[in-house]
Amino acid sequence: MIGAGTLRVILDSTFYNIFGRLRELKKRDTIAALLFGDVEGKVHANQVLKEFIETLKSAGSTEVQVGAISNEQVRETLYQLGYSDDDTVIVHELEKILDEEDVVGGSDSPALPQPGIEKEGISASPEAWGKTGEEGKPKGNQGEEFYKLLIRAIHSTVELKKPYDALPIAVLYTSSKPLTRAELNEKVRELNKLLGRPYKEKSVSNSISNVVKDSTIVRIVIENGVEYYSLIDGIRKDIAEQLIKLYEQEQARAELSAVSGDMEDLIKAFVSFFRSYVDDRGRKVYMDKIAALLTEKPSRSLEVDYCHLNSMSPDLAKWLLEDPERVISAAEDALRLVLQEDFLQEEPGSYHVRFYNLPATLLPRNVGSAQINKFIQVEGVVSRISEIRPYVSRAVFVCRDCGHKMIRLQKPHAKFMAKPGKCEECGSKDIVLDREKSTFIDYQHLRIQDAPEKLKGGEMPRFIDAIVLDDLCETVVPGDRVIVTGVLRTIEEGNEKEPILKTVMIVNHITKMSRDIEDVELTEIDIQKIKEEAKKPDIKERIINSIAPSIYGMKEVKEGLALALFGGVEKPLPDGTRIRGETHILLIGDPGKAKSQLLRFLSNVAPRAVYASAEGASKVGLTAAAVKDEFTGGWIVEAGVMVLADRGLAIIDELDKMNDSDRKAIHTAMEQGIVTVNKAGISTTLNARATVIAAANPKHGRWNPMKSFAEQINLGPTLLSRFDLIFVLIDDPDEDEDRKLARHILNRDSKDFEAYREAYDPEFLRKYVAYARKYIHPKLSEEAKQILEEYFVKLRKRVKQLDDDGIRPIPITARQLEALIRLSEAHARLHLRDTVTAEDVEAAIRLMEYTLKQIAMDESGVLDVSIIEVGKSSSEINKIERIEWIIKQLDNGEGAPESAVINEAGVWKISEEEAKKILDRLKEEGRIYELRPGHYRLQEEM
């Protein structure tokens, strides 16, 4: 800390008083004119004042009021010194100021009084720097402290080639005269020695060369063939201004070194902090922020970095954590004082001071009784948010009998309003709330739960309820990942008999975090290993083998799941919509095929994932809903799985058992990545850009290869068409495969198991996926585009016309083409490629053909995606339409006989079994009905 003696050196006490007075008078801009005006102007100012003093003395005057002085030049000079018309000039005080040569002097020295600089160079006076050594050279730590402060000022204001270039600039700044090269060399080395020799001899020499060659920093004057160096006036001025700021900061830090808990001390401490904190670039951060409250977008909150506060006053920062409500109140009082005194705001109004960046961050699951009444920081995801309601922060009660008014400040976490029991004047109990005089602010209830990516396998998310007030309302929506600071309070419910209390967090500050996958921390070593592994030719096989290695086989399924982890590239469109990058996958098949086990593995290894069962989903379901809030009694929006998993994986088991509302809402969520809620006066749209990995069971328990795909799953065509890949897992007995499966199961509990040796550990796979998704955004090469185009056209040309009025099977649509693009991009991402190659496209085509052959082959062996898109093959649609046409033709008023319909269907190559199945389906769908047993009529002809 700079000693008291240094104060005389850095800023003369008289001059420092003037500086403080100027600040109070809001004339900080005159400091530069006074301190750093040109030398000629300073000399002129000296002469004007000296002549004025002599005039006063000759008249026998010892003082005079500034406003009474007729000489305009004298008045203007006194204005520059901080005087106003109402001030009285004391003659002997003014003489004292003029006697200080460095204040309004004529030398080419910096405006600040210099730190004990002798004529011969860097030596310090005993008064300024304490003891001196040989030849008056600086000794002790006071001189060192000043030069460290000066070098900080230089680093903040001068653009240096090297950090050590600050040394010669510091020497030139503190010199009272221009220096020769030899003098500069000597003094720079002395300064380096004083500072403990932080730089080697070569660096010191380089610093001098760098500075003297820079014409933007140094002015060179040649006399008698000798070069003399001095700082350019503008550089000297900038350094001096910054030195003042840093000195003020050091003084404030000294004042704040031992703050008591007294309210007045707390307010003074915050005033000092706001006025004096300076960042590395020399900005008065909080004075600038306070000015912005008034000049930029209207705001009522001043955000304060806890680290800044702690660096200035650890005691004050500690008080904030331990007694937050009183400290925050003191900070807000201090803010109002600064607005009044420094910004001339007579009635500043209501402003908040909000603190962020605390040293410790908790998850909701870690918040407990130890944090009650403390200022804490919590990280999580917003899972629900209430409607905005008015909150009476300052209640005014009126006695109906005598009219006496009583004020009660309310607590946002209280269940009941605090009100006087009786009138303070007359004792009457007839008291009512005066709504006109009371103060209302916005109130909103949030629920913040553990983010899925922060949970370990099997952990259930916990939550914390929170209250936000005033300008913090409507700053977040469900699904937002946030870091909040605030005070943890117990809820006053009015039931003192119950010893178990609920808690709620009164939020002070909210920081919204990016939703991109940045949650996995990657070190330089991690990144280097990821890049090295990506170069290996077997990287794809290693990653596929790393997907649930305890499960035998399923290579194609694991490949698809791996590509879903990496995902394609999202493409925003000019109309505000987007082409999704998420690759959705559905697993359907027999029990015992490890569907749920695969899903569980993905939920543990994905950088961000939310696991849920559609059958056991909460009342908000898989998307989001408006529900009644037990905390406030009002309506709230609560996020479901898709919203919570935004930018991650929504892993849904038992998808076939989801409710009807989810079935409708999930369509938009899967394709457009949004969920809309419209209920109870709430209308909002939430992001749900999640990759869906789902599992479902066949309608009748096991897969029947004799039945069509659409007949065996309880999911509509519109939902099925959203999945890029659908895998059917059939438990088909095979002796060789069964033996391998048994051997795999029997050996998988061994650490030396071959499947584990061929796989990456889950943590590395998680990091690999996170890196690829964050940094790799591949684009299609021209070759890749050409292959996709040819494949698309070729498949569609292959279709044969059934007849003149028949519907052709559709082997591929634009939806499958987009899926191929996503899969190709994901394959390129897996290899950390910025360009999609032919290899990537061919891998995507092979995988899609594998799944389509399982689910989209009609009875004639033709690929037909209508089975997925419509729920029926084109051939089946043709046969249904043919049966309807036959019924219409054979209906003679009493309905078409079933036997006649079947006979006529045979003419059109529709078997009796097929005809009966179609008749049953048409009856089930309500498209035909029976006039009497065995006689049919089309529904439209009723």
- Return the CATH number at 618: 3.40.50.300
DSSP 467-513: EEEGGGTTS--TT-EEEEEEEEEE-B-S-TT-----EEEEEEEEEEP
Whether residues 586 and 467 fall in one domain: no
Whether residues 696 and 576 fall in one domain: yes
The pLDDT assigned to 644 comes to 84
Residues in the chain: 942
Whether residues 321 and 225 fall in one domain: no
The pLDDT assigned to 12 comes to 33
The pLDDT assigned to 466 comes to 93
Provide the domain count of the chain. Answer: 5
- Using 50, 70 and 90 to split pLDDT, how confident is the model at 29? very low
The pLDDT assigned to 258 comes to 66
Name every residue whose Cβ is closer than 8 Å to that of residue 441 and which is 6 or more positions away in sequence. 390, 391, 393, 469, 470
Contact of 733 with 693, CB cutoff 8 Å: no
Of 280, 301, 275, the closest CA to residue 354 belongs to: 301
Question: Which amino acid is present at 818?
Answer: E
Q: Could you tell me if residue 539 is inside a domain?
A: yes
Give me the helix-helix angle, 324-342 and 263-276, nearest 10°. 50
Q: What's the pLDDT tens digit per position in 88-133?
A: 777 766 676 665 433 333 333 333 333 333 333 333 232 333 333 3
DSSP E strand boundaries for 320-438: 352-356, 375-386, 389-399, 405-409, 431-433
In whole angstroms, what is the distance from residue 256 CA to residue 260 CA?
9
Contact of 845 with 790, CB cutoff 8 Å: no
Q: What are 400's two structure tokens?
A: 């109906």
In the predicted model, is pLDDT for residue 896 greater than 50?
yes
Whether residues 582 and 720 fall in one domain: yes
DSSP 239-292: HHHHHHHHHHHHHHHHHGGG--S-HHHHHHHHHHHHHH-B-TTS-BHHHHHHHH
Q: Among 12-16, 142-146, 613-617, 859-863, whose mean pLDDT is lowest?
A: 12-16
Contact of 566 with 826, CB cutoff 8 Å: yes
Q: What's the pLDDT tens digit per position in 555-597?
A: 999 999 999 999 999 988 887 778 889 999 999 988 877 788 8
Q: Could you tell me if residue 542 is inside a domain?
A: yes
The pLDDT assigned to 625 comes to 75
More confident residue, 562 or 628: 562
Name every residue whose Cβ is closer than 8 Å to that of residue 203 and which is 6 or more positions away in sequence. 162, 164
Whether residues 756 and 618 fall in one domain: yes
Contact of 80 with 30, CB cutoff 8 Å: yes
Sign of CA dihedral 76, 80, 86, 87: negative
Q: For the chain, give percent helix, strand, coil, nearest 5.
A: 45, 20, 35
pLDDT mean across residues, the chain? 79
Torsion of CA 43, 45, 51, 52, to 10 degrees: -160
Domain containing 301 equals 259-350
From residue 218, give the alpha-carbon distance in Å to each of 166, 543, 800: 12, 61, 86
Which residues face 733 on adjacent strands? none
- Using 50, 70 and 90 to split pLDDT, how confident is the model at 863? low
In whole angstroms, what is the distance from residue 166 CA to residue 116 CA?
19
Q: What's the pLDDT tens digit per position in 870-884?
A: 666 667 777 787 888
Q: What's the pLDDT tens digit per position in 782-812?
A: 999 999 999 888 887 766 544 444 556 667 7
Whether residues 592 and 648 fall in one domain: yes
Q: Could you tell me if residue 676 is inside a domain?
A: yes
More confident residue, 650 or 634: 650
Whether residues 141 and 246 fall in one domain: yes
The mean pLDDT of 221-233, rounded to a whole number, is: 89
DSSP 15-31: HHHHHHHHHHTT-THHH
Whether residues 631 and 721 fall in one domain: yes
The mean pLDDT of 617-640, rounded to a whole number, is: 71
The pair phi, psi for residue 109, each rounded to 5°, is -110, 165
The pLDDT assigned to 17 comes to 35
Residue in the block written with tokens 């960042």: 279
In the predicted model, is pLDDT for residue 767 greater than 70?
yes
The mean pLDDT of 415-428, rounded to a whole number, is: 85
The pLDDT assigned to 853 comes to 84
Return the DSSP state at 405. Answer: E
Name the domain boundary from 750, 775, 800.
775
Give me the helix-helix angle, 898-907 and 912-924, nearest 10°. 120
Contact of 567 with 692, CB cutoff 8 Å: no
Q: What are 207's two structure tokens?
A: 């610093």
Q: Could you tell me if residue 409 is inside a domain?
A: yes
The mean pLDDT of 815-821, rounded to a whole number, is: 91
The pLDDT assigned to 108 comes to 37
Q: What's the pLDDT tens digit per position in 173-210?
A: 988 889 998 899 999 988 888 888 888 888 888 899 99
The pLDDT assigned to 681 comes to 67
Q: Among 135-144, 462-471, 696-705, 924-933, whose mean pLDDT is lowest?
A: 135-144
Q: Among 2-6, 47-51, 911-915, whose mean pLDDT is lowest?
A: 2-6
The pLDDT assigned to 741 comes to 72
In whole angstroms, what is the distance from residue 610 CA to residue 608 CA?
7
Q: What's the pLDDT tens digit per position in 511-534?
A: 988 655 556 778 899 999 999 999
In the predicted model, is pLDDT for residue 140 greater than 70?
no
In whole angstroms, what is the distance from residue 271 CA to residue 341 CA?
10
In whole angstroms, what is the distance from residue 127 CA to residue 143 CA?
11
Contact of 320 with 306, CB cutoff 8 Å: yes
The count of C-alpha atoms lying within 13 angstroms of the C-alpha of 63, restricted to the half-sphere facing its C-beta, is 7
Name the domain boundary from 220, 255, 290.
255
The mean pLDDT of 13-19, rounded to a whole number, is: 33
Q: What are 678's two structure tokens?
A: 């419209």
Q: Cα–Cα–Cα angle for 59, 63, 68, nearest 5°? A: 85
Whether residues 324 and 368 fall in one domain: no
Q: How far apart are the first and last CA of the chain?
A: 99
The mean pLDDT of 771-777, rounded to a whole number, is: 92
- Using 50, 70 and 90 to split pLDDT, how confident is the model at 167? very high
- Using 50, 70 and 90 to split pLDDT, how confident is the model at 776? very high
CA 219 to chain centre: 48
The pLDDT assigned to 32 comes to 33
Q: Could you tell me if residue 55 is inside a domain?
A: no
CATH number of residue 180's parent domain:
1.10.10.10
Whether residues 508 and 573 fall in one domain: no
Contact of 442 with 473, CB cutoff 8 Å: yes
Whether residues 608 and 649 fall in one domain: yes
The pLDDT assigned to 537 comes to 93
Burial of 264 (0-12, 13-18, 19+ CB in 10 A): exposed
CATH number of residue 477's parent domain:
2.40.50.140
The pLDDT assigned to 30 comes to 33
The pLDDT assigned to 334 comes to 92
CA 929 to chain centre: 60
Give me the helix-helix angle, 39-58 and 91-99, nearest 10°. 150
Q: Could you tell me if residue 85 is inside a domain?
A: no
Contact of 462 with 490, CB cutoff 8 Å: no
Q: What are 463's two structure tokens?
A: 């939550």
Q: Could you tell me if residue 80 is inside a domain?
A: no
From residue 822, give the alpha-carbon distance in Å to each of 335, 651, 687, 722, 827: 53, 19, 20, 13, 9
Which of 112-121, 167-176, 897-906 tops mean pLDDT? 167-176
CATH number of residue 297's parent domain:
3.30.1640.10
Q: Among 567-581, 597-611, 622-636, whose mean pLDDT is lowest?
A: 622-636
The pLDDT assigned to 134 comes to 38
Which of 63-72, 362-371, 799-808, 812-821 tops mean pLDDT? 362-371
SS3 832: coil
Q: Could you tell me if residue 784 is inside a domain?
A: no
- Using 50, 70 and 90 to split pLDDT, how confident is the model at 352? very high
Name the domain boundary from 757, 775, 793.
775
Q: Please state the pTM of the whole predicted model.
A: 0.62
Which residues face 589 on adjacent strands? 729
Whether residues 751 and 614 fall in one domain: yes
Which residues face 467 on adjacent strands? 445, 506
